[in-house]
């Protein structure tokens, strides 16, 4: 009888203890119904990888899509799932990248490695465009290949011995990166949560903001506004509460503002609009959704000089070391495009892209609310968050896909508090968005 998994240090068969080396050989044989699957090394698997639940959400959805296409090879599938942009980049942005590429074929225009922190001109442009009058210096801006990559680098920076808090629901990369780095602890099946992660409920019952009076103290607080997936943009009052909470507890907020360009009301677009935030917050952002750079890959992180560890050492120095050690700098070509985006003409063009997607969100919002559904989001973010009371989100996802050929995202992929919801993206083509709205109406009217 096996007394522990084959990934543990020892296991017993017929009460005989076997060392790990033998276990490794046996595991190769035991897999695949007793058939040896090939040579196994003596290198054990990272135990933290074993703690990850299922596959990462979006590849998992893609797997369902491919299976659906095999079943219905001629179906016109509309993808309103993963938040990938669809509109072409403005010509003035692509022209700047093309000019840079052409320059690489000349002795004068060739350029190799750039600064790991990003080109000075782009760092300054980001500080001027997004943090004007907020006291952010260009030296506190680190250009990267995207916000999601920076989230992982920040986890590497902070290390495994910290406890984190996340919104529930929230973007799954915060949790998965915490699991991989070793912060999360064991997964509790009954609760659908990791033991060492503080899940801050952010549903409609709390105005999509956590009840901080019942929230335990953690070292890191991951907070996304506008939130992915709910679309809620935290108010100034709410973010003041969050900053004060972090100050009292000596915590660091990692603030994800990737969707800030979509805010239409007076909600803060940066955590640094809140007094005192420079002492407790890091901000991560991206050109992906603001400029349609999902495939170009360009983002940034702001680490203020005032943010200090418990021993008084500035966090910015360690993050600079992480960037220099683990990163050779964002693509020079992508940075040339990013600089063009932040010119006056480029900024206007980017706003046109944002307006297009927000019009899509309005179309989806109107269609779904006309069906009597409870719908959130779609006003400060390009996501619509739809409630199906009493339903399992994967079941709703499957029914919509089967009957309408529309890809959505099941809410449970964003946390246990999102089980009865699905997320619908407004990043589609206009014709596809209108067609999807009509299909959904037909399905839900039945």
Question: Could you say which of 1.10.10.10, 3.40.640.10, 3.90.650.10, 3.40.50.620 is the CATH number of the domain covering 91-345?
Answer: 3.40.640.10
Rg (CA), the chain: 24
The predicted model scores a pTM of 0.90
pLDDT in tens, 18-27: 445 444 445 5
Is residue 225 pLDDT above 80, yes or no? Answer: yes
Contacts of 105 (CB under 8 A, 6+ apart): none
pLDDT of residue 27: 53
- The residues that bridge with 282 in the sheet, in sequence order, are 254
pLDDT band for position 28 (50/70/90)?
low
pLDDT in tens, 144-163: 999 999 999 999 999 999 99
pLDDT of residue 446: 62
Q: Do residues 424 and 386 make contact, with C-beta atoms less than 8 angstroms apart? A: yes
pLDDT of residue 245: 98
pLDDT in tens, 328-338: 999 999 999 99
Q: Give, for 350, the enclosing helix (H) or strand (E).
A: helix 344-369
pLDDT in tens, 81-129: 988 999 999 999 999 999 999 999 999 999 999 999 999 999 999 999 9
Q: Do residues 296 and 412 make contact, with C-beta atoms less than 8 angstroms apart? A: no
pLDDT in tens, 346-400: 999 999 999 999 999 999 999 999 999 999 999 999 999 999 999 999 999 999 9
Question: Phi and psi (nearest 5°) for 383?
Answer: -125, 145
pLDDT of residue 6: 33
pLDDT band for position 38 (50/70/90)?
confident
pLDDT of residue 311: 98
Q: 13 preceded by cis ω (within 30°)?
A: no
Question: Could you say which of 3.30.70.1150, 3.30.70.20, 3.50.50.60, 3.90.1150.10 is the CATH number of the domain covering 57-83+350-445?
Answer: 3.90.1150.10
Is residue 270 pLDDT above 60, yes or no? Answer: yes
> Domain-by-domain residue ranges, the chain?
11-40, 57-83+350-445, 91-345
pLDDT in tens, 290-318: 999 999 999 999 999 999 999 999 999 99
C-alpha 312: how far from its chain's center? 30
Q: Do residues 153 and 167 make contact, with C-beta atoms less than 8 angstroms apart? A: no
pLDDT of residue 37: 73
pLDDT of residue 60: 87
């Amino acid at each position: 009888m096996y007394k522990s998994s084959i990934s543990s240090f020892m296991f017993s068969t017929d009460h005989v203890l076997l060392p790990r080396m033998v276990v490794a050989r046996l595991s190769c044989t035991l897999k695949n119904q007793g058939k040896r699957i090939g040579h196994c090394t003596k290198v054990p698997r990272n135990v933290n990888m074993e703690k990850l639940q299922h596959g990462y959400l979006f590849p998992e959805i893609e797997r369902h899509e491919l299976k659906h296409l095999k079943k219905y090879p001629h179906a016109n599938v509309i993808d309103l799932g993963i938040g990938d942009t669809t509109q072409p980049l403005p010509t003035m942005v692509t022209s700047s990248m093309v000019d840079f590429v052409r320059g690489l074929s000349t002795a004068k225009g060739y350029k190799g490695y750039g600064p790991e922190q990003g080109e000075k001109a782009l760092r300054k442009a980001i500080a001027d465009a997004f943090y004007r009058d907020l006291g952010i210096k260009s030296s506190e801006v680190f250009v990267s290949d995207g916000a999601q990559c920076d989230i992982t680098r920040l986890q590497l920076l902070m290390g495994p011995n910290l406890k984190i808090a996340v919104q529930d629901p929230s973007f799954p990369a915060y949790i998965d990166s915490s699991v991989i780095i070793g912060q999360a602890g064991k997964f509790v099946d009954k609760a659908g949560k990791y033991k060492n992660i503080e899940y801050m409920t952010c549903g409609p019952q709390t105005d999509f903001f956590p009840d901080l009076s019942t929230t335990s103290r953690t070292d890191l607080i991951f907070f996304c506004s506008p939130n992915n997936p709910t679309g809620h943009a935290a108010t100034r009052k709410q973010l003041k509460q969050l900053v004060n909470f972090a100050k009292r507890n000596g915590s660091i907020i990692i603030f994800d503002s990737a969707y800030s360009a979509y805010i239409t009301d007076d909600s803060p677009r940066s955590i640094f609009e809140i007094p005192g935030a420079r002492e407790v917050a890091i901000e991560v952002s991206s050109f992906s959704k603001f400029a349609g750079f999902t495939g170009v890959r360009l983002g940034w992180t702001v680490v203020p000089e005032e943010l200090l560890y418990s021993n008084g050492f500035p966090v910015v120095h360690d993050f600079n070391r992480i960037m220099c050690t683990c990163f050779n700098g964002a693509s020079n070509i992508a940075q040339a495009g990013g600089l063009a985006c932040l010119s006056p003409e480029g900024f206007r063009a980017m706003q046109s892209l944002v307006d297009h997607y927000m019009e899509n969100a309005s179309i989806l919002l109107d269609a779904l609310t006309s069906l009597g559904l409870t719908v959130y989001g779609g006003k400060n973010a390009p996501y619509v968050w739809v409630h199906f009371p009493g339903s399992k989100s994967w079941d709703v996802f499957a029914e919509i896909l089967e009957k309408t050929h529309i890809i959505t995202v099941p809410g449970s992929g964003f946390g246990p508090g999102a089980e009865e919801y699905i997320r619908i993206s407004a990043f589609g083509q206009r014709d596809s968005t209108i067609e999807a709205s009509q299909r959904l109406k037909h399905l839900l009217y039945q």
